[in-house]
Amino acid sequence: MNTLTQVHAVILEEHGDFSFDELCHACGAAQAQLLELVEEALVTPSGATPGEWRFSGVHVQRATVAVRLQRDLGVNAAGAALALQLMDEISTLHGKLRAAGH
């Protein structure tokens, strides 16, 4: 029996405010793995101690991609951080190319 449920939709990147535990759950990864990503400064939470850390939706999105790259490609945290940095640069360059009409 199907019933239609109304669900509130929000844009993760603009509305996210996640604790460390919530980040781990959203990325489907263990705390130790995400601690490494914080160490690599791939995500930079506000707050001084892990208990006070707050992560944005953009952090969740980046950490999720990093976790997938680690799982699927066998790279470590530093490798995933490098891949994300290069992907950001490629995306910026594609934007410049498009803006230049190519």
Partner 1 sequence: MEYKDYYAIMGLKREASADDIRKAYRRLARKYHPDVSKEADAEARFKDVGEAYEVLKDAEKRAAYDQLGSEWQAGQDFQPPPGQARHTRQPRQPHGAAAGPGFDAHTFSDGGDDYSDFFESLFRNRAEGGGSTGRAQREGFHAHGQDQHASIQIDLEDAYQGAKRSLSLRFPQHNADGTLSSSERVIEFTIPKGVRAGQNIRLAGQGAPGIGDGKPGDLYLEVEFRSHPRYRVEVRDVYMDLPVAPWEAALGAQVEVRLPTGGVVEVTVPAASSAGRKLRLKGRGIPATSAAAEAGDFYLVLQVALPPANTDAARAAYTQMAGQFADFRPRTKLEGAS
Query: What is the binding site for partner 1 (CB under 8 A)?
Result: 2-16, 25-26, 28, 57, 60-61, 64-65, 68-69, 71-74, 83, 87, 95, 98-99, 101
Return d(Cα 21, Cα 9) in angstroms, integer.
22
Return d(Cα 69, Cα 32) in angstroms, integer.
16
Return d(Cα 40, Cα 75) in angstroms, integer.
13
Q: What are phi and psi of 17, to 5 degrees?
A: -150, 100
